[in-house]
Amino acid sequence: MAAAKKKTAPKKPARTTQKGKTAIITGVTGQDGSYLAELLLGKGYQVYGVMRRVSSFGSTGRIDHLLDNPNFHKVYADLDDGPSIDALVAKVKPDEFYNLGAMSHVRVSFEVPRYTIATNTLGVLTALEAIRQHSPHTKFYQASSSEMFGDPGVPVPFNEKTPMIPQSPYGVSKLASYHLVQQYKNGYGLFATTGILFNHESPRRGENFVTKKISLAVARIKKGLQDKLELGNLDAKRDWGWSPEFVEAIYQIMQHDKPDTFVVATGETHTIREFVEEAFKHVGLNWKDYVTFHEKLLRPNEVPKLLGDATKIRKTLGWKPAKKFKDIVREMVDHDLQNL
Ligand code: NAP
Ligand code: F7E
């Protein structure tokens, strides 16, 4: 008699999903942090979004749609409160730590220089030390800025090798943290990486940055809710990109096979005046009828012209921007017209 067929245990179903990576994002309530959280959640990450306790309504406006996502974990911590960052890193031991939190307003940094250095420089040191002590496998990304350049005597375009001579407490704070990143990479072998991002905008841009101030004012003027728009220096030139695209660059920098530094920019520069003109033209108005000048909006020091050379990231990681200047202006104005 043929031997009874041996019963075999049913095959386990093949795993269809990999265990998600974990990431901490500081600055998750900000423009870039909110887009980055969406990007990482879309890739299956467990995201720990660092938030500060604030008394006002609306500080989570950019991430309210993520708060119920089971993979999004809201955590209270503060770059100015070392123990909270230290404890968070020790507990989560994340695969990746994106440090986007900062006092990010250049003009305000002249009014609160010490606070700016505390958050933007000592905060970075706190995060790097926490990783070194508790979780040395964690990859670290630092949000560096084109404001680390800025000396009018240095010719544009700026790349990774351009001398950095910042013109504001904000620029100084970012340059100091840039050097800390190099120190922790070279001295301790951490995967500490950074992107030198030129200005990047979106409908989620903070309302006291010039692009959002303009798009919001144009929408309000068009709807009869405002008469005038007060601005400062219209001659400054900026290399404006699109935040969701720049956040994709941040992610790619973190996935590179070694920690490195990359300029992220569009390679085009425009004056503030051109932005204003395009925004008003888009709704059929002449900017000269509405824009007034106020010297309170000038800075003690200005970076007159920013233009980036993103050749390295294009050649190494294949990243390049798609959104053009006029589309950025128009999308921001259209968004504000629809959402007032
Ligand atoms: P943002 O919209 O101003 O967001 C800044 C974020 O940092 C907010 O979530 C803010 O929290 C948080 N934050 C401030 N102080 C903090 C502290 N002490 N501890 C923890 N979090 C703190 O800035 P962004 O435009 O998204 O820029 C993201 C990062 O890139 C910043 O580091 C900025 O300096 C840098 N960067 C930006 C640009 C640009 O053009 N956007 C270019 C180059 C570099 P609250 O919501 O509670 O205020
Ligand atoms: O100013 C001029 C102002 O404040 C742009 C941050 O994300 O990018 C940003 O810094 C220009 C300056 O951005 C007003 O003088 C004229 O020349 O929008 P902003 P920013 O200073 O370039 C860098 C890369 C960062 O890293 C920063 O975090 O616009 N300007 N009139 C004005 N600026 C403002 N804010 N308000 C005015 O009324």
274 is catalytic: no
170 is catalytic: yes
Q: 112: which DSSP letter?
A: S
For residue 12, what pLDDT is reported? 41
Residue 74, classed as helix, strand or coil, is strand
pLDDT at 181 over 60: yes
| Cα(132)–Cα(194) distance, integer angstroms | 17
- Give the closest residue (by CA) to ligand 1 atom 30: 143
Residue 235 contacts residue 272 (beta carbons within 8 Å): yes
Is the domain defined by 210-234+270-306+327-339 classed in CATH 3.40.50.620?
A: no
Ligand 1 nearest-atom number relative to CA 105: 3
188 is catalytic: no
CATH of domain 22-202+241-267+307-322: 3.40.50.720
Name the residue ranges covered by the structural domains of the chain.
22-202+241-267+307-322, 210-234+270-306+327-339
For residue 27, what pLDDT is reported? 98
pLDDT in tens, 52-105: 998 988 899 999 999 999 999 999 999 999 999 999 999 999 999 999 999 999
* Mean of pLDDT values over 236-259: 98
For residue 4, what pLDDT is reported? 44
In angstroms, what CA-CA distances link 81 with 77, 123, 177, 287? 7, 8, 17, 45
pTM of the model: 0.95
- Give the closest residue (by CA) to ligand 1 atom 11: 27
pLDDT in tens, 255-311: 999 999 999 999 999 999 999 999 999 999 999 999 999 999 999 999 999 999 999
